Amino acid sequence: MKTQDVKYLYISLFIKKSLLLMKMIMKLLMKHGFIHFILTYIYLAWSTLCFFYLEKRYPTLFIGGNPFVLIRQALCIIAERNIVTWPQTYVNKCTPKTEEFFLYIILHQMPEHLVGIEKIDDPNFFEMVEYHYHRAVMIMEKSFLKDLQKYHDLSEEGRTRRVKGIIKVMSVCQNTIEVTFPIRRDNGEYEIITGYRAHHNTHRLPCKGGMRFGPDVTRDEVRALASLMTFKCACCNVPFGGAKAGVVIDPKKYSAQELQKITRRFTLELVKKNMIGPAIDVPAPDVNTGPREMSWMADTYSKTLGLNDINSHAVVTGKPINQGGVQGRSEATGRGIYHAVDNFLSEEKWMSHVGLSTGFPNKTFIVQGFGNVGRFAAVYFTKAGAKCIGVIEREVSLYNENGINPEALIKYFNNKKTVKGFDGADEYNGENLMYEKCDIFVPAAAEKLVKGKDAKKIQAKIIAEGANGPCTPEADKIFLEKNVLVIPDLYMSGGGVTVSYFEWIKNISHVSFGRLHFKYERESNYHLLDSVEQSLKDKIDGVKIKPTDAFERRISAATERDIVNSSLDSSMETAAYRIMETANKYDLCLDIRLAAYCYAVEKIFRTYEEAGLAF
């Protein structure tokens, strides 16, 4: 352990012991009301001063370094111990167990280049993800050290070195390549195209992440999205590492033939660098790409490096059905958002924190971005009983306080390629539609579109992050102070990668879901009904067991889509339960983002710890 770390540890232990001593004295003098009252305020003043001292002397020790959060922690200590009764608003409706607060903030520090990022209006995207990762490590490191006590042959110093080593491995982007290649355009001119592919973490293989087209794609953006994919896969229980790809083009300026040339050549460049393969790296659709591009990539791979690979079609996911795709993939991310929000809406504990009733009925929501993610989220929210009152698109925003029909808007958009002119809602002319009053706001467009200045004006009680990194750390901090529940991107948008995992399983299994057992299960269900009917006939003459229409459809018309949707629902439910469990375990209250990162980081750490660090 470094001398600096030891110094921090001694200071924190001294403060902790002094607070414990004061508590013991106060307990002994509990019957002496006036003296106990005076000591209570002395305790509060001393604990607050201690927090201020550490925050000023060692700012990198604290998560965010916000002195008001530190004061709230001191208030929480008092409130929890019943030394004095504080109003609920002072403790943000939570009373975390903080007796070991000093110990677990001491060992890991926020890197200097990330200190104060929660005060920056437009931070670097990769640094945003790094910041959230290090916040989680600051919470989890003590638990990691405790787990390593099972190795009796390791000294305390050895355990500390091992934990710090794994933390460093988890934090870096392991591979990033930049490729450039020429294409011949339809007019005969040649153009140089630039593309990127990043592998953030290979604790699990293959790596997984989408491929996007965009004129503003950068190396840092690709690395940030790859790192987010690592934590997203871990959070959603998908056994993949994190990756991402991007090609710097505006697809609207290229013909279909030119896009095919770009996609196939980019695939070949990845093949040459050994950055693609069913067991290495499995791309998927992302912004401005879809089943068509995935089909081109799969075909290119299968005719080159994958020529003799029986699993070659598992090289990408999100393919058309006749190319090995899976039913339900196109709407998977939007459906996952619905399940994610539903899991939290169903919990009275979490809804009581934000002042909402449970369930979707009578809830209002606004969607930012009406692409593949936002449109399906709106459809499922509406079917569950919520009302869409606003849609924000780049060229225009639509508002109707009586409700917008998402399915009608989708049909209009598919015909017109824009939401402008839709007669089911009015064009919004106010400052910003996201500031209007609603229960749920779904940012499903792009990263960093919700900044601190926006968070101050947003009135929604739940922020459901459908896009990757839509809220800056500054906005996140303001939402926490306002008692707004932010359901984070690494969980919310996990539906897409979950169903991609199902497609990959289907491809390497070489059989569609249900093909081997649909008929057997159908006949078994009918045999069960017949058995019940025969048993009842012994007691009741003429009785007949008949399945309901819904059960009949489930028995006789089950499809691959049914299995995929059911499995997705189960996966999102399990992940939500684990995130809530983590939030309760570490007393994180409404900071669900931190809880999700803690859960993901813990799983990745255990993978590295049990597999070992090679050489």
Which tens digit of pLDDT belongs to each residue from 404-433?
A: 999 999 999 988 888 888 888 888 888 889
Is residue 391 within 8 A of residue 420, CB to CB? The reply is no
- Alpha-carbon distances of 195 from 124, 135, 263, 270, 419, rounded to whole Å: 20, 31, 10, 10, 31
Residue 388 lies in a domain: yes
Q: 522 with 502, same domain?
A: no
Q: 100 with 200, same domain?
A: no
CA angle, corner 97, sides to 91 and 103, nearest 5? Answer: 115
**pLDDT higher than threshold 60 for residue 574:** yes
Q: 441 with 588, same domain?
A: yes
The per-residue pLDDT for 44 is 65
Q: 451 with 330, same domain?
A: yes
Domain boundary among 303, 322, 341: 322
Q: 317 with 445, same domain?
A: no
**pLDDT higher than threshold 90 for residue 26:** no
Q: 244 with 358, same domain?
A: no
Residue 86 lies in a domain: yes
Q: 476 with 608, same domain?
A: yes
The per-residue pLDDT for 102 is 38
Give the pLDDT confidence of 526-561 residue by residue, as tens digits.
888 888 888 887 778 778 888 888 887 777 767 888
* Residue 104 to residue 142: CA distance in whole angstroms: 5
| Nearest Cα to Cα of residue 353 among 85, 572, 135, 583 | 583
Catalytic residue of the set 244, 319, 387, 448: 244
* Residue 214 to residue 193: CA distance in whole angstroms: 12
The residue type at 416: K
- Averaged pLDDT, 36-41: 62
60 vs 167, which has greater pLDDT?
A: 167
Give the pLDDT confidence of 145-171 residue by residue, as tens digits.
888 888 778 787 888 888 888 898 898
Sequence-distant (6+) residues with CB within 8 A of 368 are 374, 392, 434, 441, 442, 443, 444, 445, 449, 467, 470
Q: 495 with 527, same domain?
A: no
With tokens 């930012």, the residue in question is 368
Residue 243 lies in a domain: yes
**pLDDT higher than threshold 50 for residue 66:** no
Q: 192 with 257, same domain?
A: yes
**pLDDT higher than threshold 80 for residue 512:** yes
**% the chain with pLDDT above 70:** 82
| Nearest Cα to Cα of residue 592 among 368, 347, 409 | 347
* Residue 577 to residue 574: CA distance in whole angstroms: 5
Is residue 601 within 8 A of residue 231, CB to CB? The reply is yes
The per-residue pLDDT for 41 is 62
> What is the pLDDT confidence band of residue 246, given thresholds at 50, 70 and 90?
very high
The per-residue pLDDT for 360 is 92
Q: 379 with 505, same domain?
A: yes
**Gyration radius of the chain's alpha carbons:** 27
| Nearest Cα to Cα of residue 167 among 506, 614, 608 | 608
Q: Tell me which of 45-59, 157-171, 172-186, 338-352 is least confident.
A: 45-59
Taking each helix axis from N to C end, the angle separating 125-147 and 473-481, rounded to the nearest 10 degrees, works out to: 70
Domain boundary among 322, 351, 383: 322
Q: 276 with 397, same domain?
A: no
Strand stretches in 324-385, DSSP E? 364-368
Sequence-distant (6+) residues with CB within 8 A of 113 are 127
The neighbouring-strand residues paired with 387 are 364
Q: Is 244 a catalytic residue?
A: yes
The per-residue pLDDT for 72 is 46
Domain boundary among 284, 301, 322: 322
The neighbouring-strand residues paired with 282 are 208
Q: Tell me which of 24-28, 299-303, 585-589 is least confident.
A: 24-28
**pLDDT higher than threshold 90 for residue 97:** no
| Nearest Cα to Cα of residue 350 among 37, 74, 595 | 595
The per-residue pLDDT for 405 is 92
- Alpha-carbon distances of 361 from 349, 350, 358, 424, 479, rounded to whole Å: 18, 17, 9, 21, 24
**% the chain with pLDDT above 90:** 47
- Averaged pLDDT, 333-350: 91
Give the pLDDT confidence of 77-87 residue by residue, as tens digits.
444 333 333 33
The per-residue pLDDT for 363 is 92
pTM of the model: 0.80
Residue 137 lies in a domain: no
- Alpha-carbon distances of 431 from 20, 136, 435, 460, 493, rounded to whole Å: 52, 36, 8, 16, 28
Residue 58 lies in a domain: yes
The neighbouring-strand residues paired with 313 are none
Q: Record the tokens describing residue 370, joined without a space.
A: 């009406």
CA atoms within 13 A on the CB side of 565: 13
The boundaries of the domain holding residue 101 are 3-106
Residue 128 lies in a domain: no
- Alpha-carbon distances of 52 from 68, 119, 205, rounded to whole Å: 10, 19, 45
* Residue 196 to residue 180: CA distance in whole angstroms: 9
The whole-angstrom distance between residue 404's C-alpha and the CA centroid of its chain comes to 27
Report the number of distinct structural domains present in the chain. Answer: 4
